[in-house]
């Protein structure tokens, strides 16, 4: 298959060609590998390939699923592929190989996907841009001098540049939606517990959720159909839900939409991001929806509770890493700022952690209450356009690190806290040609409505034909 043919099709389109016998899975794999060779150099989005393993799976016979034969990449963080390293951008972990697939990867394989590569992540996903000691900096295909986002930035750059039509990502505070906004992908964070959490058990009290970054809404919906469902190895479970693929193209009806450009906890919102929301409001109103200004009023100590909770989780994650690595971790294993965060987490008492969780319940209550009056919440995905690489401090203390977070990505984490599905849609580009994503969210378990509205917006203002500077022709 020619690269220019491959790059025009989403995953659903490629799967249809495989099903009708026009192209074989092995030919698609070869084409995907050629795509990686063609554009990965300047992007540094893909950190490992395992083509031989992928070809062996094809030759053994792929399951019949919605995406049989479609090339796919995994974010190199939590989704373990048995026998392949999961490095997390962190030198001590580069040699770690899980003995078996995580449940999510098993479901990806059952959908017929051909997994052949891993994508770059920030070091231990603790940075707000995709860079690491192990692999360096990942760049934005729309402008190489800018960030691809955090922490699924490698996947976002790979999808936007057409190396693959979709790839795995996860999101604990915005890490699907932020890179989707930066790189002009569709990035859906599902409801808490909708997909199995990798590798097993509960992660961040269910706030970290697994899914993908895609070029089309229909791919995201069909993949969610293939992977969603109860998994007994975790506390938080949601039933599979509706036929999500059937919602794409269905009229969502006349919706009441709350609109806000006021960032939680006071960060200023860039004029480009406000403009993206204003243009989206005009589009929504032209489609018959009712849009009204409505800010979310959060508890004053809500951010403090979130920060306390995350620091404790980081420290607990590192305790688990010590078990995996079989040794005690020391300051020498981490960049200075990450070590400061881990040490701060270790000093948090059980009582302080429980008080923080209680504070997060208040945040969740405030966010979810919006959906008593409105069907959908609209905001920018980010407070600023994709930032230049040098805007992210190389070394900072922990306080500055979190202040930067709030100035950069304050709109996303609240929907991890309350568990709502939320998505970034590529509906706007600024005068510099950089993507500005808009965020839509619905009440918990409201993916069907969210996907229906996203599909309507995709049809009204298509983005598939827009291509970044670094892209498969």
The tens digit of pLDDT for each residue in 414-425 reads 999 999 999 999
Give percent of the chain with pLDDT exceeding 90. Answer: 93
> Distance (Å, rounded) from C-alpha 190 to C-alpha 210?
8
Mean pLDDT taken over the chain = 96
Contact 316, 346 (CB under 8 A): no
> What pLDDT is attached to residue 157?
99
> Distance (Å, rounded) from C-alpha 320 to C-alpha 332?
18
> Distance (Å, rounded) from C-alpha 176 to C-alpha 183?
11
- Reply yes or no on whether 75 is catalytic: yes
Cα dist from 138 to 45, 52, 149, 211, whole Å: 6, 25, 9, 21
The residue annotated as part of the active site, out of 7, 75, 102, 161, is 75
Question: What residues does 147 pair with on adjacent strands?
Answer: 139
- Reply yes or no on whether 175 is catalytic: yes
For 282-306, the pLDDT digits (tens) are 999 999 999 999 999 999 999 999 9
> Distance (Å, rounded) from C-alpha 305 to C-alpha 302?
5
Contact 415, 208 (CB under 8 A): no
Looking from the CA of 204 toward its CB, the CA atoms found within 13 Å total: 25
Residue 384 burial by Cβ neighbours in a 10 Å radius (0-12, 13-18, 19+)? middle
Residue 318 pLDDT > 90, yes or no?
Answer: yes
What is the pLDDT confidence band of residue 407, given thresholds at 50, 70 and 90? very high
| Mean predicted confidence (pLDDT) in 447-467 | 98
Residue 202 pLDDT > 80, yes or no?
Answer: no
Among 193-202, 241-250, 431-440, the range of highest mean pLDDT: 431-440
Rg (CA), the chain: 21
For 95-135, the pLDDT digits (tens) are 999 999 999 999 999 999 999 999 999 999 999 999 999 99
> What pLDDT is attached to residue 200?
59
| Mean predicted confidence (pLDDT) in 227-242 | 87
- Reply yes or no on whether 274 is catalytic: no
For 9-62, the pLDDT digits (tens) are 999 999 999 999 999 999 999 999 999 999 999 999 999 999 999 999 999 999
> Distance (Å, rounded) from C-alpha 46 to C-alpha 284?
36
Question: What residues does 436 pair with on adjacent strands?
Answer: 428
What is the pLDDT confidence band of residue 233, given thresholds at 50, 70 and 90? confident
> What pLDDT is attached to residue 198?
63
> What pLDDT is attached to residue 337?
92
Residue 213 tokens, joined = 């970054």
The residue annotated as part of the active site, out of 88, 139, 151, 220, is 151
Q: How many CB atoms lie within 10 A of CB 25?
A: 23
The residue annotated as part of the active site, out of 102, 152, 161, 175, is 175
> What pLDDT is attached to residue 201?
58
Cα dist from 102 to 52, 95, 132, 153, 460, whole Å: 20, 17, 24, 21, 38
CATH class of 3-460: alpha beta
């Amino acid at each position: 298959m020619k690269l220019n043919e491959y790059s025009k099709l989403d995953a659903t389109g490629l799967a249809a060609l495989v099903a009708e016998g026009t192209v074989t899975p092995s030919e698609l794999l070869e084409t995907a590998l050629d795509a990686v060779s063609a554009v990965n150099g300047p992007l540094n989005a893909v950190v490992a390939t395992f083509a031989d393993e992928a070809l062996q799976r094809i030759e053994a016979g792929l399951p019949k699923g919605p995406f049989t034969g479609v090339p796919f990449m995994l974010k190199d963080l939590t989704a373990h592929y048995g026998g392949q390293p999961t490095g997390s951008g962190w030198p001590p972990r580069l040699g770690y190989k899980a003995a078996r697939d995580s449940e999510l990867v098993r479901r990806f394989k059952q959908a017929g996907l051909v997994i052949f590569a891993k994508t770059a992540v920030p070091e231990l996903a603790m940075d707000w841009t995709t860079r690491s000691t192990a692999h360096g900096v990942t760049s934005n295909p729309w402008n190489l001098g800018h960030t691809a986002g955090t922490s699924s930035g490698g996947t976002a750059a790979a999808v936007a540049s057409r190396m693959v039509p979709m790839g795995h990502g996860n999101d604990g505070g915005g890490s699907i939606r932020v890179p989707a906004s930066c790189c002009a992908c569709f990035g859906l964070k599902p409801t808490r517990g909708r997909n199995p959490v990798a590798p097993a058990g509960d992660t961040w009290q269910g706030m970290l959720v697994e899914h993908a970054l895609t070029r089309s809404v229909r791919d995201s919906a069909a993949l969610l159909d293939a992977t969603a469902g109860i998994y007994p190895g975790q506390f938080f479970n949601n039933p599979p839900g509706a036929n999500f693929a059937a919602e794409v193209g269905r009229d969502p009806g006349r919706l009441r939409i709350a609109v806000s450009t006021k960032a939680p906890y006071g960060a200023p919102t860039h004029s480009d991001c406000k403009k993206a929301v204003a243009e989206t409001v005009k589009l929504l109103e032209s489609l018959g929806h009712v849009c009204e200004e409505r800010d979310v009023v959060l508890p004053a100590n809500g951010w403090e509770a979130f920060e306390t909770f995350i620091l404790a989780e980081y420290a607990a994650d590192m305790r688990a890493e010590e078990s995996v690595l079989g040794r005690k971790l020391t300051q020498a294993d981490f960049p200075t700022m990450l070590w400061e965060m881990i040490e701060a987490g270790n000093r948090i008492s059980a009582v302080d952690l429980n008080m923080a969780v209680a504070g997060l319940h208040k945040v969740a209550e405030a966010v979810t209450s919006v959906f008593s009056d409105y069907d959908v919440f609209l905001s920018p995905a980010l407070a600023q356009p994709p930032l230049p690489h040098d805007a992210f401090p190389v070394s900072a203390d922990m306080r500055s690190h979190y202040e930067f977070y709030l100035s950069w990505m304050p709109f996303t984490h609240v929907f991890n806290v309350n568990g709502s599905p939320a998505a970034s849609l590529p509906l706007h580009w600024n005068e510099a040609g950089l993507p500005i994503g808009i965020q839509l969210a619905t009440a918990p378990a409201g993916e069907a409505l969210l996907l229906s509205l996203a599909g309507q917006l995709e049809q009204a203002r298509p983005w598939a034909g827009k291509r970044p500077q670094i892209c498969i022709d």
